[in-house]
Structure 1
Amino acid sequence: MVHGTHNAQEDSRNNDILISINDELYPRKEAKISVFDSGYLVGDGVWEALRLHHGVLVFKEDHFNRLWQSAATVGMHLPFTKEELIAKVWATLNANAMTNGVHVRIMVTRGIKKTPSQDPRLTISGPNVVIIPEYKTASKASREKGITLFTSSIRRGSPDYLDPRLNCHSKLHEVQALIQAIEAGADEALMLDVNGFVATCNATNFFMIKDGEVCTSTSKYCMNGITRAKVIEVCKANGITCIEKDFSLFDVYGADEAFVTGTFGGLTPVTKIDGRQIGKGNYGHMTRQLSNLYEALIDNAVKNG
């Protein structure tokens, strides 16, 4: 069985979900898009993912701001407002009668191409918008067990050629990093930046804890994680020292605890990196405390609608 930060509890309701493609709803087995779609042809698209908790799309302003920033970065004009896209998401959720425990993936590609090509001038349609809502609850067993990481030789890109903060469909370098980790017997990959400092993981952001101090990489080479930002926020709000700085594997191997963050899994402890046990090799006390504080932040967001 696959083990990692995206482990979800099985839910048979997902077999019958309706998926939105350009405002039309399709049963899961019938949801298809053209082979001339720019996302399929050349990875020309941006995406966002967020969660539905008790009738509330949690941190939706942060997520939709990030989506609009990604679209602007790749020069993609979105012919709808944030409010209109949010309405499309709600229409999809309502059609599925979904209210809680849902993970929503929004994918926007540049559109249909006249012919296979990377040239955006050969796009003959407006953007394609796909909304996939699924009943997905992170596996508690996976969180308690924690994950293992392997440091990949694939580096996080420099901002001048593929900014790591960009949520785009071009994920091949991350897939390559993950494949290396899997072949090395680990669950996921730890990725360094172009200078050899720890940057992030293939699909999550990385934190370590040493002597009661929380540390994560600078934002220069890591993903623009909403959960990462929220963890930093709760640290500051609760008097916990959290520093963004450059650090290397030398520092990581001697950490007391480590964890990764993501919208789906929240905080997931890391027990081993490159075969070396991190701290006591379990779900550490401070990681658990931060996870509880993050969950409280979600509860507060739900309470305030």
Structure 2
Amino acid sequence: MSQSIQDFHDDPRNASIRIWVNGELKPRAEAVVSVFDSGFVLGDGVWEGLRVVGGHPVFLDAHLDRLDEGAKALMIDIGLDRAALKRALYDTLAANAMRDGVHIRLMVTRGVKRTPYQDPRVTVGPATIAIIAEWKEAKPETLQRGLNLFTVHVRRGFPDVQDPKLNSHSKLNCITACIQATQAGADEALMLDPHGFVATCNSTHFFIVRRGEVWTSSGDYCLGGITRANVLALCHEAGIPVREKNFSLTEVYSADEAFCTGTFAGLAPVRAIDGRTIGETLPGPMVQRLQALYRELIVRDVAARAAGGS
């Protein structure tokens, strides 16, 4: 049975969480936005997902950098500076007495419109900001058995159509890819770029290991992933040969190992792609090594944030 890498075991504590909406912490049932909100009407907004370890959102500054870049590209005035956003995140964690095993969704939309129409000039209020913190972790069994990927016909598009670098609320391209993969019985969609080279997955980034080298896509047709960037940096730091390059499915099918990366699950091994078994062991030696290095990086980041007081 297929299962998304984003799946998790339900936690009853999530029924009573308090959610930050435009400066107020509200019970889950009362945390609502207007039907005229730009995010609801048009998917007009940007967002970030963050993991919480030891009471701190991991790699927070990198996530806020990406949020800020997306908002600037869309000409959305967030209305809060970085210090205020950090306070809002920590206030949300404190209100829910959360320290570990937590995932945060930080969402910013252009705000409320006076009529449901795309033109940003009909927006009548400030940006809508919502912070949802939940007790949520990737299922251990999903990570243990590895992911089954299916290459879909839905492509990652050119940046002059809808730039894949934007972490926008509009995710229809990824959703249609996810639907096709799910109907094919897979866990995640592997997506190609307009030229037929491997680009990314519908909700994670994709890597392969060949002859001791780690490969990922050129990055031209995928989101600038935080975990992806961390894995690239870890490889350089550890002296592991790593390449950002174009490669085809033929090279994927004969890979020694494959894995996906994302904020929610970290590094997840891939066991099969389009019916081809990848590698001989799961997780493979390179994935195990990178998982360990990634865990150490999280510990360093949390320690630095704790020492800095935010």
- 2:2, 2:185 within 8 Å by CA — same for their partners in 1? no
Q: TM-score, normalised by structure 1?
A: 0.97
Structure 1 counterpart of 2:208 = 208
1:264-279 aligned at under 5 Å gives the runs: 264-279=264-279
| CA–CA distance in structure 1, aligned partners of residues 222 and 281 of structure 2 | 25
For structure 2, the 5+ residue unaligned runs are: 306-310
**Residue 93 in 1 paired to residue 87 in 2?**
no
**Residue 8 in 1 paired to residue 8 in 2?**
yes
| CA–CA distance in structure 2, aligned partners of residues 44 and 177 of structure 1 | 20
- 1:272, 1:281 within 8 Å by CA — same for their partners in 2? no
Structure 1 counterpart of 2:237 = 237
| CA–CA distance in structure 1, aligned partners of residues 250 and 218 of structure 2 | 17
Offset, 1:9: 3.2
| CA–CA distance in structure 1, aligned partners of residues 90 and 294 of structure 2 | 25
| CA–CA distance in structure 2, aligned partners of residues 174 and 56 of structure 1 | 29
- 2:3, 2:186 within 8 Å by CA — same for their partners in 1? no
| CA–CA distance in structure 1, aligned partners of residues 24 and 61 of structure 2 | 25
- 1:46, 1:169 within 8 Å by CA — same for their partners in 2? yes
| CA–CA distance in structure 1, aligned partners of residues 160 and 66 of structure 2 | 19
Structure 1 counterpart of 2:219 = 219
- 2:206, 2:259 within 8 Å by CA — same for their partners in 1? yes
- 2:104, 2:133 within 8 Å by CA — same for their partners in 1? yes
| CA–CA distance in structure 1, aligned partners of residues 2 and 35 of structure 2 | 29
Structure 2 counterpart of 1:170 = 170
Offset, 1:281: 6.2
1:190-209 aligned at under 5 Å gives the runs: 190-209=190-209
**Residue 146 in 1 paired to residue 165 in 2?**
no
1:37-56 aligned at under 5 Å gives the runs: 37-56=37-56
- 2:50, 2:60 within 8 Å by CA — same for their partners in 1? yes
| CA–CA distance in structure 1, aligned partners of residues 216 and 205 of structure 2 | 8
Offset, 1:277: 1.0
Structure 1 counterpart of 2:83 = 83
Structure 2 counterpart of 1:116 = 116
% identical equivalent positions: 50
Per-residue CA deviations over 1:19-48 (Å, capped at 9, x if unaligned) read 111111221122211111111111101001
Opposite residue 140 of structure 1, the aligned amino acid is P
- 1:107, 1:129 within 8 Å by CA — same for their partners in 2? yes
Deviating 4+ runs (over 6 angstroms): none
What's the secondary structure of 2:15's corresponding residue?
A: helix
| CA–CA distance in structure 2, aligned partners of residues 186 and 220 of structure 1 | 25
What's the secondary structure of 2:160's corresponding residue?
A: coil
What's the secondary structure of 2:186's corresponding residue?
A: coil
Structure 2 counterpart of 1:18 = 18
Per-residue CA deviations over 1:98-132 (Å, capped at 9, x if unaligned) read 12221110110000111110010000101000100
Offset, 1:2: 6.1
Opposite residue 213 of structure 2, the aligned amino acid is E
Say if 1:2 and 1:25 are closer, same or farther in 2 by CA, change over 3 A.
farther
- 2:257, 2:284 within 8 Å by CA — same for their partners in 1? yes
Per-residue CA deviations over 1:111-156 (Å, capped at 9, x if unaligned) read 0111110010000101000100011122221111111011111100
Per-residue CA deviations over 1:206-240 (Å, capped at 9, x if unaligned) read 00001111000012111110000000111111110
- 2:58, 2:301 within 8 Å by CA — same for their partners in 1? yes
Of 70-79 and 104-113, deviating more is 70-79
Paired residue total: 305
Offset, 1:10: 3.0
| CA–CA distance in structure 1, aligned partners of residues 262 and 101 of structure 2 | 15
| CA–CA distance in structure 1, aligned partners of residues 303 and 139 of structure 2 | 24
| CA–CA distance in structure 1, aligned partners of residues 78 and 186 of structure 2 | 39
- 1:47, 1:106 within 8 Å by CA — same for their partners in 2? yes
| CA–CA distance in structure 2, aligned partners of residues 283 and 292 of structure 1 | 12
Output the aligned Cα RMSD: 1.2
Structure 1 counterpart of 2:308 = none
